[in-house]
Structure formats: structure tokens, C-alpha cells
Structure 1
Amino acid sequence: MSLSTHPLRAGLLVLAGATLISFAAVFARLANVEPTTSAFYRMLFGALGFILLISVQGRLREGFRRGWGSSGLIAIFFTADLWFWHRSIDYIGPGLATLLANFQVFVLTAVGVVWLRERLGWRFATGLALAMSGLWLLFGRDWAQLPPDYRLGIGFGLLTATAYAAYLLSLRGFQIREGGFRPETRLLQVSLWCVLMLGLLNLIEGHDFSIPDRQTLLSLIALGILCQVIGWLLITRGMPFLPAGLVGLLLLLQPSQSILWDVLIFGLRLSPLQITGALLALTGIYFGFRAASRRKLG
């Protein structure tokens, strides 16, 4: 077994990638710009990172001249994902917004049930029950007392999960149907489309593209380079060489760590019942990931 495929090395790659992307919501919150503006710069700096990578390693350019139409469709879903998620971060904070975004695993499995007529397994049923119980402990008990913006942020978080699932399904589907594409090439195309779409949305919303201070600039660069490029490259390089259960546990570090950073950096405070709810939701997401990993959609 070569060093590049050694399970320990692969596990460390996924662990490092999950840790990096756990900071994505933190950097978005630290940027003193509108949500759509921060999403725009995330994709802009991410695209520049992919351009640099592809220019250094020419073999990664395979397929770059083709597939722009399908990449545009994929980008619609990812643009929606970012638009919803960055607003959810503003309303409910980085930790809980990231937790809700990870509910995409249930959407993926539900698509398999409706589209491919797959049967619901015990993992999905258990995971969904745990996740719904966790949601109720986190938000449902005091729903009537929550501020309107907070409730809107919860809705945006769940819409993020739906849009992200659509992005993953379309990305996987087109990668299967259109051969000869390097993942880096596809991600660069999607990133460039997202830059265009988010830029237009930012103008329609009446926002400019100014970066007001150094903290915002550094946060946006880190969001685009560390999270969008390096974090996901590490995960995609390590995932194929690990069992699905271990991948699920390692990827669970992303929402878990995002909640931790929210507590340490932004002072998130959760009651004992809410902490229990978060743990139940995380456990449910893990079972949901195991259920989704057993299905081949696309």
C-alpha cells in the first residue's frame, strides 16, 4: 500500500480538511460585509486559488474547455446554498447554522427513496428521529418566544441543507455522466459561475464590493483559500481510502467544531437541554451519513 493511500494518512487528510472547513462560518461572521458580499468573495478567492493550483499542475486542466453548461447548473444550487447559509450565520451564529446545513444528509437519502424507490433503512429512521428530537430541544420548545430574525435564520439553515444536497447530487451526477473531468477543473468552473451569479445578486440587492478593513480582507481570503480550496481538497484526497463509518465520524467534526468555535469566539451559550439537542442532532447526522453512503445516487 502506497503512502498516499495509507489509512492513517488518509484519515489525517480528512481530519485536517474537516477542521479547516469548520472555520468557514467563523470567517464569514468575522467579515464586516453583507452576507451576499462575503459569499461572492469566498468564491472569488476560491476561484483564484483553483486557478493557481491548475496553472502549477497542468494535468489538472483536463476537461476545462467543456462542460460549462452543466457546471452552470451545479453553480445555481451552490449559489443558493451560500446565499441561504451566509444569512443563517448572521441570524443564528456560525455553530448552529453549520449544524443545520449538515441536515443535507437526510435530503440526500429522501431523494433516493422518492427518485430511486429505495427502502428506508434503520440507520435513516434512527438518524432522522434523533435529529428531529435534537432540533426540538434546540429550537422547538421556545419557538414562540424566539425573535423573528432568529426563526428566519433557522429556516435559512434548513434551506441551506436542501440547496447543498441538490448541489452534491448535481455535482456527482454530471461527474458520472461527463467523463474526462478532473474534480479541480469542475470546481473551478463552478466557482467562476458562482462568482458571476453572486456578483449579480449583490448588485441587485444594492450592495457594493468594498472591503472595509484588514480583518474583513483576511477573513475573506481565509474563507476562500483555506476553506473553499485547501479544506475540500484534503477531504476529497483522503475520503476514497477510508471506510464510510470513519469518514462520517471525521466529517462530523465540522459542525461539532463550528459549535465549539462559536462558543469560544462569539460567546454562544446553550442550556443543558440545548446541548443535549445538539448532541442528538449530531448523532442523527452521523446515522444519516451512514444511510446516504450506502446509496449510489446519480
Structure 2
Amino acid sequence: MFTPRLQALLVLVASAAVLGLAPILVRLADTGPAAAGFWRFAFALPWLLLMVLRPGQAAGERGPGRPSMLMALAALFFVLDLAFWHYSIAFTSVANATTLTNLTPVVVTAVAWLAFRERPKALFLLALAVALAGAWTMSAGADGRQGPDPRLGDAFAAVTALWYAGYFLTVKVLRGRVSAGRIMLWSTALGLPLLLAVSAALGEPLLPGSTTGWLACAGLGLVHVAGQGGVAWALGRLPAALTAVTVLIQPVVAAVLGWWLFAETMTPAQLLGGAAVLAGVVLAQMSARHRKGAEAVAAAPVP
């Protein structure tokens, strides 16, 4: 029999691997990048509604409840996160787009330290320098064969880390009073029309043009529920530092699938830069492991 800790670890590994499918499905969605985010939300919404309506929940947590201004803010951050990330996938390699978004824990830890008025440790400053140097190396080392505009795509991916940090910090505040299921439900429901508006404003094709595209969009919905939900469930049962390191499986899975399905390769400089980014994230977690306030939000899984 699996121990509760081992069970949570297995769920975490599986969820991180599922999240690694997201950039592949965006590429296969056969629609605009923001439109792919719209369909991700649209297909996820019924599953999220079933989650909050299922029996056996604690008193006061069953049912959708009502949205709040903070939920609307979380939705806005998540919409910006998906829009920028999906466009980064369109312009650069799957590996770069996924690895650079993993700067989120570094950003969240830095903001949390500022919010808690705690001076950063020397190890965190080193982690920040290593991660930023790695991000620059990944972008500068592109040979032009990773996408139509790798530099622009890398910039979008780096900015995605900022938006996702805002989302997770907002969720941290909400989690003190609202269940995770309700937060996911309302951030998705409120973000749905926003992504539709972004897609329309950019003149993107909304409807997938093939059966494969529709299946990819439906798959994005399942990734949204199973991947994000699985990591959130495991985070409540495992140390945050362990969770943050384990979810780094995602960029590895995404890079392997990008190489297998799209023949994407990485230059030696990009491989070195990617390793530096992930090392910086791990060092940031090590520097925060004794700071419970910062640690709780520093383990943010990528989109």
C-alpha cells in the first residue's frame, strides 16, 4: 500500500507531466493563441462546476458561491498569463516558452519577501542572478530555428512569469477564506469572456479548423482541471519546496514532446541557459524553505 506522502508525490509527478502537455496542445489547437485559451476555459468550466457541486464537501464549501473583486483580479491575471504564454508558444520553442515561465517562483518569492518586509538572503540574490542569466542565455542562444521570432516569444514567456506571480499572490489572499475549487471556478468563468474579447480584438480565428484542433482544445480543458487541480491537491499534503522542485518536470516533458512532435532542437547555449533557470528556481526554494509565508506561494505551478 502507498503511504499518504508517496500517494501525494505520485499525484504531483503525474500532474506536472500533464501540465507539460499544455504547450503541445496549444500548438495543435489550430486556432489563435488567445482563442486556444478561451477554449481551454470553456471546456474546463463544466468540470469545475461539477467539482464544487459534488457531495461530501465541508459545510459552506459546496456550491459555486459568489464571485468577489479579488476573484475578478485573479481572473484578469490568469487571462494575461494565458494570452502572453500562448503567444510565446507561437513565436518561440516549446522548451523556451515553458522553461522561462518557470521564473514565476523566483518572482513570487521576491514579492512575498517585500510584502512581509523581510530582507532577501544572499542565497536568494544568487538564485535570482543565476535564473536571470539563464533566461538571457536561452534567448540569446536561439539559432532562429525554434520559431518565427524566438526573441519576441522569449520576452512574452518571461512576462508570463510576472502575470502568473500576480495570479498566485491573489489566490494566496483568497485561500484564507475561499476553497480552491471556487477560486478556480470563478477565475475561469470570469476570464472566459475576457479571452474571447482578446481573441476578437486581435482578429484571431476562433473556431478550430480541424478535428485535431477541437480535440486539442478539449484536451486543454482537461489539462486545466487535472494538471492545475492535481498540483494544488498535492501542495496541501507535501512540503512546498519539494512541490516546487517536482513541478520542474513540466518543462522537461514539454521539451521532449516539442523535439519529438515538432522537431525542435536547442543549441548548447540554450541547454545551458535552461539548466541555469531551473537551478535558480531550486536555489530560490532552498533560500525560502524556512520562511513559511513566502514558501506557501513560491511553489506556484506553471500554467
Normalised to the residue count of structure 2, the TM-score between the two structures is 0.87
Deviates most, 62-71 or 164-173: 62-71
Give the alignment of 1:71-86 within 5 angstroms: 71-86=71-86
Q: Does the C-alpha gap of structure 1 residues 200 and 9 become closer, same or farther in structure 2, counting only changes over 3 Å? A: same
Cα distance in 1 between the residues matched to 2:268 and 2:204: 40
What residue in structure 2 maps to residue 242 of structure 1?
Answer: 238
Q: Percent identity?
A: 28
Give the alignment of 1:117-196 within 5 angstroms: 117-140=117-140, 149-176=149-176, 179=177, 181-196=178-193
What residue in structure 1 maps to residue 301 of structure 2?
Answer: none
Cα distance in 1 between the residues matched to 2:154 and 2:138: 10
1:199 to 196, 199, 221: 196
Paired amino acid for 1:45: F
1:257 to 253, 262, 280: 253
Which runs of no fewer than 5 residues in structure 2 stay unpaired? 298-303
Task: Give the number of aligned pairs.
Answer: 292
Paired amino acid for 1:93: S
Cα distance in 2 between the residues matched to 1:128 and 1:188: 33
What residue in structure 2 maps to residue 70 of structure 1?
Answer: 70
Cα distance in 1 between the residues matched to 2:244 and 2:147: 34
Cα distance in 2 between the residues matched to 1:254 and 1:110: 22
**Partner deviation per Cα, 1:85-142 (whole Å, 9 max, x = no partner):** 0000000022211111111112112213333321112432232232123223322357
What residue in structure 1 maps to residue 6 of structure 2?
Answer: 8
Paired amino acid for 2:184: L
Q: Does the C-alpha gap of structure 1 residues 92 and 295 become closer, same or farther in structure 2, counting only changes over 3 Å? A: farther
Paired amino acid for 1:250: T
Query: 1:42 aligned to 2:35?
Result: no
**Partner deviation per Cα, 1:221-243 (whole Å, 9 max, x = no partner):** 11111x10011222122222223
Q: Does the C-alpha gap of structure 1 residues 154 and 245 become closer, same or farther in structure 2, counting only changes over 3 Å? A: same
- The Cα shift of 1:11 comes to 0.5
- The Cα shift of 1:6 comes to 1.3
What residue in structure 1 maps to residue 300 of structure 2?
Answer: none
The answer to whether the 8 A contact 1:25-1:95 is kept is no
Cα distance in 2 between the residues matched to 1:189 and 1:32: 27
Query: 1:214 aligned to 2:197?
Result: no
**Partner deviation per Cα, 1:3-61 (whole Å, 9 max, x = no partner):** 7x711111001011101011111111111100110010011111122123334437385
Normalised to the residue count of structure 1, the TM-score between the two structures is 0.89
The answer to whether the 8 A contact 2:107-2:162 is kept is yes
What residue in structure 2 maps to residue 111 of structure 1?
Answer: 111
Q: What root-mean-square deviation, in Å, do the aligned CA atoms of Structure 1 and Structure 2 show?
A: 2.6
Paired amino acid for 2:42: L
What residue in structure 2 maps to residue 272 of structure 1?
Answer: 268
Cα distance in 1 between the residues matched to 2:57 and 2:239: 28
- SS of the equivalent of 2:236 reads helix
What residue in structure 2 maps to residue 21 of structure 1?
Answer: 19
The answer to whether the 8 A contact 1:239-1:247 is kept is yes
Which runs of no fewer than 5 residues in structure 1 stay unpaired? none
- The Cα shift of 1:164 comes to 0.2
- SS of the equivalent of 2:204 reads coil
